[in-house]
Structure 1
Amino acid sequence: MTQTSYDAIVIGVGGMGSAAVYTLAKRGVDVLGLEQYDIPHTRGSSHGETRIFRLTQPEHPSYVPLAQHAHKRWRELEAESGTDLLTTTGSVHAGPKDGELVAAALESVRANEVDHELLTSTELGERFPAFELPEGHRAVYQPDGGFLSCERVITTNVNQAHEHGGVVRARERVRSWEPRESGVTVRTDRNTYEADHLVITAGAWAANQLDVLQNHLSPQRRVMIWLQPEEPANFSPDRFPVFSVDVPEGNFYGFPTAERPGFKFGRSPDVTEVVDPNDWQDEPTIQDEHLLRQLPDGHFAGDAGSDRTMGMATCLVTTSTDGHFYLDTHPEYPHVSFAAGFTGHGFKFVSAIGDVLADFVTEGDTELPIDVHRLDGRV
């Protein structure tokens, strides 16, 4: 017979949910993870082969200690699983010398005494030949940045959860959950389950599961592209760091070559494209491609491949009202916790978020630095 009672249930087994299931199982918690799609899948925000890891945190200086904890946990997960997950390339944040991106990046590393260098655009190009940014731009280089193999992370988390006795069920959609005095009832399209604790990591669907975050989460469509450069050696992980750049054409972020041909990058849109996560245009368009090609046409040396597309992909980015993700327990039901609204820069924290959510379940709270992410005063 199917087991229907658990210590904890996790709704959504993408990046955050897979880390929660793994960490809970490792701590001896009888845990069930429920995922409406495959593991991993391409309908959310944890696919496309690579995600940026960086210690530089222009979003807020308080993010840095959480990123440092995540870095430690990534290396521990690699050692435990025997799987390579994090590739170190260094990270670059570049823009006009008096611009907001460079100032915020510098503030984050200086406030936390993180090793870094401030380079001119000429110095950046001399060190990493692919870059050809405008004169007057500055770049904050931090050597510990890199990229995570995102699908491999999810697979590894789930495999390790299984090793520790965790249960994960894919293609099982949660219809509803109800709080009990000391637990929850979760109803899916296959079964009904009981648990002492509930963890909600449902990504773009989190607002459907959390009344306190309704009207405070915005699922948005983003597009990634892979281009094949004429000199691919300049875009290899040992010669090309992950980057975020502000240039006249917009804010772009990207990666060296990794799992597939070409180097990958995306663009933060000027006008957000809010979508219904159950009904959206998941196939990239020619218009998407033309918009993205503005970056290599003007800001990389030589022929960066603007006419040689290797692939494109879309993903969902779920933004929060104020740009900081939500990480807390429910104000009415302390046995319900959640992580949501990662605003396109959350995957680097996956390993740390697993610890936070497991702390909520096993300890009732966490000592990890998440004050800016708690719910108080924000909704």
Structure 2
Amino acid sequence: MTRGSYDAIVLGVGGMGSAAVYHLAKRGVDVLGIERYDVPHGRGSSHGDTRIFRLTQPEHPSYVPLAERARTLWRELEAESGADLLTETGSIHAGPAGGSHVSDAVDSCEAHDLPHEVLSGSDVNERFPGYELPADHECVYQPDGGFLACERAISTHVRLAHEHGATVRARERVLEWESRESGVEVRTDRGTYDADHLVVAAGAWAANQLPLLEDALSPQRRVMCWLQPETPAQFAPDSFPVFSVDVPEGKFYGFPVADQPGFKFGRTPAQAESIDPDDWADEPTLEDEQRLRKLSANRFPNGDGPTLRLATCIVTRSLDGHFYLDTHPEYSQVSIAAGFTGHGFKFTSVVGEVLADFATDGETEHPIDVHRLGTRLA
């Protein structure tokens, strides 16, 4: 059994945890990251080749400054590492005219003077021929959106964290942690570690480590699909923006063809049952595929070719849709990042910075009021 002492320990080295380990190590903090699975792995929320990046934030206008800071940090990480992480394609938000899906997107752009255009479905279809949206739908086009290479981003954060002196231990399961007078003690199936500060970024397993989140997190199953386009040029990054659409077939999101073959998209169900992240149907089914193909057949017909790949992932919803980012209400030496509700990966870089702020300064200057725990768990 291993024994060790560190300045900080990070539980979970997926999207958020890898960024936290990196930012802590870059500040000279002696940090240990502990990951239950591989680094990276495909059992949680941060896999599947790509994740959407967008400055348009219908969830809440206060998300926009976080997204802008995240973009700056992604570009800095690219410069430091030489890796290509963020590809800009523009982003489309589309839905029925007058609906909140579009009006909230417009509000977030206007609140922060983001360049954007309000278009009809017909306008979008003409400009981007891979699309076939309802002609009378309303759409917001924002030119700075795009996608992140998610596994590459995690690997890059960890690789650079190593260069800055971090230690990362994978295939190690955390059994429990305890608050101590001067920090925390973490016990795993391989050892025991002490630290001044603890970061919990355990994704769908966060409630296992944080009883206060037991009734505040809902891990849910999602399916992603990759299809062979009939007209590949229409689905290339320079001619196909990432999208979030509310259409008669349901709510969907999607991407152009990236490093891996196929036009990728997924569905956000109106109702979804919670799952046990240790025991769930992680193999996609024919029914999953058929449900997804309702979108491609009607709204992206030139992308509705043979199936290349199906994959599942876990989305962990919070109670109100806003993720939790704060210090523990009882233990100031413990910080929390959880409940990213399917739209969190774009913020990974800045969340890592916020978590490093908590560990080194006890507070952050980033605008995270909507993400504080406060009375949200009552």
- Name the residue aligned to 1:304: 303
CA drift of 1:122 comes to: 1.4
Q: Report whether the alignment pairs 1:205 with 2:212.
A: no
Range with bigger deviation, 121-130 or 149-158? 121-130
Partner of 1:102, secondary structure, is helix
1:83-94 alignment, distance < 5 Å: 83-94=83-94
Distance 1:90 1:3 in 2: 48
Q: What TM-score do the two structures reach when normalised by structure 1?
A: 0.98
> CA offset at residue 3 of structure 1?
5.7
Per the alignment, residue 214 of structure 2 pairs with: 214
Aligned to 1:103: 103
User: 1-side partners of 2:289 and 2:107: how far apart?
Assistant: 34
Aligned to 2:290: 290
Structure 2 distance, partners of 1:320, 1:286, is 29
Contact residue 263 and residue 303 of structure 2 kept, 8 A:
no
One of 348, 355, 358 as aligned partner of 1:357:
355
SS for the counterpart of 1:265 is strand
Alignment-derived partner of residue 322 in structure 2 = 324
Which residues in structure 2 correspond to 1:7-26 (within 5 Å)? 7-26=7-26
Number of aligned pairs?
A: 377
Matched residue type, 2:74: W
Offset of residue 305 of structure 1:
1.9
* Structure 1 SS opposite 2:25: helix
* Separation in structure 1 between the aligned mates of residue 174 and residue 75 of structure 2, nearest angstrom: 33
Q: Tell me the secondary structure at the aligned position of residue 302 of structure 2.
A: coil
Pairing 1:156-175 to 2, within 5 Å after superposition: 156-175=156-175
Other structure's SS at 1:84 match: coil
Find the aligned partners of 1:102 and 1:88 in 2 and give their Cα distance: 21
Q: TM-score, normalised by structure 2?
A: 0.98
Q: Which amino acid aligns with 1:352?
A: V
What's the % identity of the aligned pairs? 69
Deviates more, 1:93-102 or 1:347-356: 93-102
Tell me how far 1:274 sits from its aligned partner: 1.2
- Name whichever of 127-136 and 35-44 sits farther off: 127-136
Q: Which residue of 2 aligns with 1:279?
A: 279
Displacement of 1:259 after TM fit? Answer: 1.8
| Displacement after TM superposition at 1:115 (Å) | 0.7
Q: Which residue of 2 aligns with 1:346?
A: 344
Which range moves more in the overlay, 270-279 or 80-89? 270-279
Q: Is the 8 A contact 2:243 2:254 kept in 1?
A: yes
Structure 1: gaps spanning 5 or more residues: none
Contact 2:231/2:302 (<8 A) preserved = yes
Residue number in structure 2 paired with 1:230 = 230
Q: 1:313 aligns with which of 303, 308, 311?
A: 311
**Partners in 2 of 1:260 and 1:164 — Cα distance?**
31
Tell me, in whole angstroms, the C-alpha distance in 2 between the residues paired with 1:237 and 1:135: 23
Structure 2 counterpart of 1:63:
63
Q: What SS does the corresponding residue of 1:303 show, helix, strand or coil? A: helix
Gap runs ≥5 in structure 2: none
C-alpha distance after superposition, 1:289-313 (max 9, x if no partner) = 000000011112x53225x101010
SS, match of residue 44 in structure 2: coil
Q: Paired residue for 2:54? A: 54
Per-residue deviation, 1:271: 2.0
State the distance in 1 between where 2:128 and 2:188 align. 51
Secondary structure at the counterpart of residue 366 of structure 2: coil
- Local SS of the residue matching 1:293: helix
Q: Determine helix, strand or coil for the equivalent of 1:19.
A: helix
Alignment partners' CA distance in 2, 1:13 and 1:217: 19
| Residues 335, 358 of structure 2: 8 Å contact kept | yes
Alpha-carbon offset, residue 273 of structure 1? 2.7
Q: Does 1:375 align with 2:351?
A: no
Displacement of 1:137 in angstroms is: 0.4
* Alpha-carbon distance between aligned partners in 2 of 1:187 and 1:341, rounded to the nearest angstrom: 24
Deviating 4+ runs (over 6 angstroms):
none
CA-to-aligned-CA distance 1:68-126 (integer Å, 9 cap, x gap): 00000000000001111000000000011111100110011111111111111111111
- Across the aligned residues of Structure 1 and Structure 2, the Cα RMSD in angstroms comes to 1.0
**Structure 1's 2 and 188: CA in aligned 2 closer, same or farther, altered over 3 A?**
closer
**After alignment, is 219-228 or 270-279 more displaced?**
270-279
What residue in structure 2 maps to residue 45 of structure 1?
45
